[in-house]
């Protein structure tokens, strides 16, 4: 929607027949939410309420039933909102997309949401190795914590750290380093697309990137040191399973190679190409070949048969010393 410059969403909680096709009922497919009847703040929870569990948007209802404006400086404080958002991330496994409050001018709703967005952007840049741009305008500040209190700290859970790789044995350093750049680009895009995929679309990154990861990362792992090959076995196996699902849709090797080429062309068309955009371009190609309904059904089946394991994209962390001393200097950076 942002790319099309049509980034306005209008939905209804209730509605009868005869409405325009673009006027969707929120809880039919788009939103899942939390309960909304709480008498006190200590009753806040993130249990499922309306909406299907695979809906892509999570709405957090954050208000009390008595609607007393006098208490919302605390209810909408950054500390209380941070606590609630962390709770929902942990319980629902989903980043909240919308926060519904009473008396939004009280407390620090806007500052907290800005902090969440800033943390998400920082993590995205960290994963992609993008340096943040220099500031271009006046800075903004959020409501300061009361004197003597500690700020609530980051809202998002920390990024998982890669497993340390302390030795590199075997493999062909020259051949591996020649294949590393394209393999790393494919797996990074695959991981980032999976990171931002909504619950109902978990398998779509597999279908978009399985072909290029199986091909390009497969070439690197075929000549890589045994420690990295072992660490990357899960992601390569998943990519190859996705290729198997594509073959189940009727694609032959030539068509699988064309999907890999499409992904590669889009990823290299411009610097810092958004993996989610590339995903949709590749999926549009796939849908044109076998039909959108077939892709959706196959993606659901793949997701059910291949739940994403923890640490799937933990490909290991090699220190510069280990890389240089083992002859794999291309891993230093």
Position 333 scores a pLDDT of 75
Region of 301 on the Ramachandran plot (φ > 0 left; ψ -120 to 50 alpha; else beta): alpha
Distance CA 293, CA 43 (A): 42
pLDDT reported for residue 133: 67
State residue 89's pLDDT score: 82
- Please tell me the pTM assigned to this model: 0.64
Residues of the chain below pLDDT 70: 1-4, 6, 16-17, 124-133, 135-161, 198-200, 271-272
Predicted pLDDT at 17: 65
| Domain extent listing, the chain | 11-128, 164-331
Q: Which two tokens stand for residue 141?
A: 């500040």
Q: What is the pLDDT of residue 150?
A: 59
Strand partners, 60: 99
pLDDT of residue 207: 97
DSSP letter, residue 157: P
> Are the C-beta atoms of 159 and 127 separated by less than 8 Å?
yes
> Which residues, other chains included, contact 163 with Cβ-Cβ below 8 Å and sequence gap of 6+?
231, 311, 314, 316, 317
């Amino acid at each position: 929607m942002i790319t099309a410059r049509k980034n306005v969403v209008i939905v209804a909680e209730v509605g009868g027949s005869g409405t325009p096709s673009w006027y969707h009922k929120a809880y039919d497919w788009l939103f899942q939410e939390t309960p909304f009847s709480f008498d006190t703040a200590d009753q806040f929870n993130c249990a499922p309420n309306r909406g299907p569990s695979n809906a892509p948007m999570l709405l957090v209802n954050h208000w009390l039933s008595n609607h007393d404006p006098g208490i919302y400086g605390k209810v909408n404080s950054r500390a209380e909102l941070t606590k609630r958002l962390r709770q929902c991330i942990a319980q629902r496994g989903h980043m909240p997309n919308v926060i519904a409050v009473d008396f939004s001018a009280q407390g620090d709703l806007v500052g907290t949401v800005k902090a969440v967005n800033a943390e998400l952007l920082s993590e995205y840049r960290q994963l992609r190795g993008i340096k943040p741009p220099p500031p271009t305008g006046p800075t903004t500040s959020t409501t300061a914590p009361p004197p003597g209190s500690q700020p609530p700290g980051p809202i998002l859970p920390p990024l998982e750290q890669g497993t340390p790789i302390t030795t590199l044995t075997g493999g062909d350093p020259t051949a591996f380093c020649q294949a590393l750049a394209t393999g790393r680009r494919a797996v990074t895009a695959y991981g980032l697309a999976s990171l931002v995929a909504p619950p109902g679309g978990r398998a779509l990154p597999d279908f978009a990137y399985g072909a290029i990861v199986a091909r390009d990362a497969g070439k690197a792992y075929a000549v890589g040191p045994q420690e990295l090959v072992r660490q990357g076995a899960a992601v390569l196996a998943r990519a190859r399973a996705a290729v198997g699902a594509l073959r189940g849709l009727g694609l032959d090797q030539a068509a699988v190679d064309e999907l890999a080429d499409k992904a590669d062309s889009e990823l290299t068309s411009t610097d810092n190409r958004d993996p989610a955009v590339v995903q949709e371009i590749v999926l549009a190609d796939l849908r044109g070949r076998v039909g959108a309904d077939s892709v959706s059904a196959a993606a659901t089946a793949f997701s059910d048969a291949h739940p994403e394991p923890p640490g799937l994209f933990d490909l290991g962390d090699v220190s510069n010393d280990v890389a240089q001393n083992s002859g794999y200097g291309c891993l230093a950076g």
